[in-house]
Chains A and B, each alone.
Chain A
Amino acid sequence: MVGRVWPFRVERQSLQRIRVSWWADLVAFLVLVLVLFGVIEVAARWIGPMTSETTLDLSAWNLPLYALFSLARMTAAFTAALGFGLVYGRLAAADPRLEHVLLPVLDILQSIPILSFMPGVVLALVALFPHRNLGAELAAIVLIFTSQAWNLAFSVYQSVITVPKDLREAAAMLHFTRWQRLTRLELPFALVPLLWNSVMSWAGGWFFLMASEQFTLGERSFRLPGLGAYLATAADQGDLRALGLGLVALVTVIVLVDRLFWQPLLAWSHRFTLDEVSSELRPGRAAGSWFQRSLLVSWLWLQWMHPLVRWLDHVFDRLLRQEATYKLTRQELPSRSETTRHGRRALPLLAGMGLFALVGGTVARAALELPASSWLELATAASISFARVMVTLIITALWTVPVGVAIGTNPSLTARVQPVVQTLASIPATALFPAIVLVLLGLPGGLQMAALVLLALGTQWYVLFNVIAGAAAIPHDFIEAATIFRLTWWQRWQHLLLPAIFPSLITGLITAAGGAWNATIVAEYVVFRGEIYVAGGLGAEIASSAATGDYQRLLAATVLMAAIVVVLNRTFWARLYRLSMERFQLAR
């Protein structure tokens, strides 16, 4: 009864201790049937003949099917992103030479605005499957993938290089094979951060799912049946009822996935933390243990999953049976000045230079072919977007700091407000875009106003969450000390609260800034009721040049945006972050 072979299935309770209930079986059976039906339905749609300009039926009865299609895209993209993250992250951590190439590449990939991938990806994939829906579907999936994969890879990399030295040594002394080291040590260790990043990636996926279900490229326009397209169509036709229904359906799907999948997983992952004592709240584990009551699930697990997993473990252990060599953990490597003296960096340096030359060449060609006036336009657009992003961040910081501190320093309030905030935050801002555009376009300021609101919607949650976490982590002694010393309201903010939340505020703002640049593409260029609304900016440049098929300009604008993001990260944000870590870290 003890699932010892697979490290993830750590301990199973014996069957007789679990209450068996027949309706758990019934639900499990229904779920299985639904999943099967869903797979068939999705497969039929994907390999079905090309229907490029789907007309969406706004009837509420279609919503479950649309939700299913959206969910299928998300699942496929996330699975791919997870696989990519595991392989890429593990490879980057495996060898310092690979690391020197893979990490910068990841850094660059991360800073390229996701929607700029769209034209290339769509055209290539649609060309690959000219008569099937598969091409457009795959394109949407790849786009969602690009919003999810990078941080997963970073997370895996970070975990693998920080596996504690003593555990690595123990694994070596126990003569682990490579496969055993991966599955018994590295993956369990990486699991918790990977899961939290997965939750973030999943949310990011919803954000771009909305944008990837409906788009125009030159003369061709694509509309994939799904919740995103449904919302856009509803707003387009001014159908408020359908808009509301679509939002309700979306939130339901998001909350259901969270409660039935992520929360149980997070609860289960709790045992993989290294902390000896953990004070953090353990999320509920309702669904997972509830399904254990089903005999059907138990039977499937014991008769099929368990032997299958055991067999796979055995096979892979044979394949990777070479005994893992013990490698130095990074902490033990000589200092930086030491490593630079090594001559071993020649190969990655060469590869890096090759890559640089390739990218540089492309950019240079674009720069040469694009007239100077266009570059000037792009630069102006960039400064407008920069101002917009900054204004958004300032507004966000202005309201999240007082609210976040008020919530965070009051534990009972935190407990009550947190779930509400989490649910609100789980609504992807892009889903609200059509509704907001519908309302705000008529008002003075038009899209200028709407664009700011759209950006703020997409970014504020990161900041709010971080501020709440930062405020909640202020040790009670400090607050008591502030009271005893009779600090005035202003002194309290100046000397305690602001410095204390500074690191988490910066962390939140960094994430928010990256997201905001990305979101400018959807926020500054809106197609509504057949008309195009543009609020000038680099995002609008990218979106419009993609829509009109001006790929040279698209490339130039994309490179410009990526460069701005990287440079800002490396200089401004990195410096602020270092400052916050050195000066204002409460616990050292």
Chain B
Amino acid sequence: MTATATAGRITARIPTLLAAEEVSKYYGADGSHVLVLDRITLELRDGEFVALLGPSGSGKSTLLRILAGLLSPSSGEVRVHGEPLRGVNPFAAMVFQSFALFPWLTVLQNVELGLLHKRGLKSEERRQRALAALDLVGLDGFEHAYPRELSGGMKQRVGFARALVREPEMLFLDEPFSALDVLAAENLRGDLLDLWLARKIPTRAILMVTHNIDEAVTLADRLLIFSANPGRIRAELPGLPLAERLSKGQTHAELVDTIYRIMTNPREEIERLLPQARILQRPAAPTSPVLPHADVGELTGFLERLTALGGREDLFELARDLQLEADELLPLVEAAQLLEFTRVEEGDVVLTETGRTFATADLLQRKELFRQIVAERVEWIREIVWTLRVAPRHRQAEDWIVRRLEEHFSPAEARRQLETAIEWGRYAELFAYDEHSGILYLEENGA
């Protein structure tokens, strides 16, 4: 892998801080292996800011936790400074999406927690260092406030201060800006970039998980794009030169567009999606089919909007128009593609004839059309219907179906798959579902 990744770069002299070698992660024990991460190999080198991008379910957060030592890989190895990692990564600090502040402690005490493990540190010095860290993130004056008194942006600043007070060599960020409102996120991103670029913090490398493409392009020196089920590195792209990143000009928009195209075409070959041929890492084998978790109501709204926009729209523009994040839009696009309501051409979503009919039909016609297409196109909803037809009294417990699904998915994903199938199947009136008893059944006229 390193061989392909070094194209045109001088990496020989730059030390590697952290390396994952063929790291895989399974759910479940004996026999029922469900793959979450499939043979991930990556390196984190001195001085770089790496972003992990991917749809939900691609295991990028799991990978981050493996690298942090919170989870252990099922196979493969994580090496820190060449040594195998055991237990929690001593060189890393982490910033959480949900902030993970201790609500019963003040801001200052929360930051001091970062120094608790350093024995022999005088309490006065601990306090001084915590105050300095708060100063660094622009929170001086708030040290005696409790987290609940702060806005989201300020809470995350405390999260950063708590991580930075340890002066970690590696900083792990788990979707650090996604719980913040747009302005606060923008503001904090700018401050982080400032600290990082001006070397105001001794941190030597940053690894960030995100689903915000724009953010990743702005911040990262290198981008790893994941595919889902199982999680694999689909492509590795170099970041933009610093000047182009900060100016947010044409090249910035182009890279965002490219990544959008990659993420919305999970089954397409990478080369065809990359006009610039900037690819660093090649994708592994194609993924197994899954039901995208799209709400029928949202899908309808999506198609209606697309019709109103003239039946063809750039994906990135569409996401902006609908005010959706990438991982919220993706299931809709995938579902529309699966049902042949749309197809993707050169980064644009194009409405098909069926899609147009669906978007303009009335309620009952829509249901009928959806029913036909789902019964025809979605293989495993068809399987459920078939199972129910042959089952005694046309009934089947959901647990039975979940167990079948768990042969292919993690337990949580199996549950979600079933939930989506139930929603689709109910809307299409292919089968009915009794929530109380957890039983799927065919209605009298549906058999």
Contact = CB atoms under 8 A, between A and B. Distances in A.
B265 interface: no
A180 B88 contact: no
Contacts, number: 101
A201 B299 CA distance: 53
A445 B69 CA distance: 71
Given A323-B88, A326-B70, A7 B105 contact: yes
A184 B90 CA distance: 20
Given A170-B96, A583-B436, A342 B88 contact: no
B117 A174 contact: yes
B87 interface: yes
A172 B88 contact: yes
28 contacts: A4-B123, A10-B109, A164-B100, A166-B98, A166-B99, A167-B100, A169-B96, A169-B100, A173-B70, A174-B162, A176-B116, A176-B117, A180-B116, A184-B102, A184-B116, A271-B103, A271-B104, A271-B146, A276-B148, A323-B88, A323-B117, A326-B70, A337-B402, A337-B403, A337-B406, A338-B406, A338-B411, A579-B436
A335 B411 contact: yes
A338 B27 CA distance: 10
A341 B109 contact: no
Interface string A154-191: 00000000001011011011111100100011001000
B337 interface: no
Given A169-B100, A174-B113, 4 more contacts: A10-B104, A184-B116, A334-B28, A337-B403
B103 A273 contact: yes
B32 A341 contact: yes
A342 B104 contact: no
Nearest to A583: B436
A185 B94 CA distance: 17
Interface in B408-435: 411, 415, 435
A587 interface: no
Given A166-B98, A170-B100, A175 B117 contact: yes
A150 to B, nearest CB: 27
Nearest to B410: A334
A264 B7 CA distance: 67
Given A7-B104, A167-B102, A334-B27, A173 B92 contact: yes
A172 B436 CA distance: 39
Interface of A: 4-5, 7, 10-11, 164, 166-167, 169-170, 172-177, 180, 184-185, 188, 271-277, 323, 325-326, 334-335, 337-338, 341-342, 579, 582-583
Given A188-B102, A335-B406, A338-B406, A169 B87 contact: no
A184 B162 CA distance: 15
Nearest to A276: B148
Nearest to A274: B103
B305 interface: no
A173 B102 contact: no
Nearest to B98: A166
B153 to A, nearest CB: 14
Contact of B88 (A272, A326, A579, A582): A326
B105 A172 contact: no
A175 B29 CA distance: 28
Contacts of A272: 103-104
Contacts of A188: 102, 104
B103 to A, nearest CB: 6
A341 B406 CA distance: 13
B114 interface: yes
B263 to A, nearest CB: 26
| Among B102, B114, B406, residue most surrounded by chain A Cβ atoms (within 10 Å) | B102
B125 interface: no
A560 B127 CA distance: 61
B129 to A, nearest CB: 13
B399 interface: yes
A185 B109 CA distance: 13
| Among A4, A5, A164, residue most surrounded by chain B Cβ atoms (within 10 Å) | A4
Interface in B330-368: none
B106 interface: yes
Contacts of B96: 166, 169-170
B65 interface: yes
A337 B123 CA distance: 49
Given A4-B112, A169-B96, A341 B105 contact: no
A4 B32 contact: no
A335 B413 CA distance: 11
Contacts of B106: 10-11
A169 B61 CA distance: 12
Nearest to B113: A174
A180 to B, nearest CB: 6
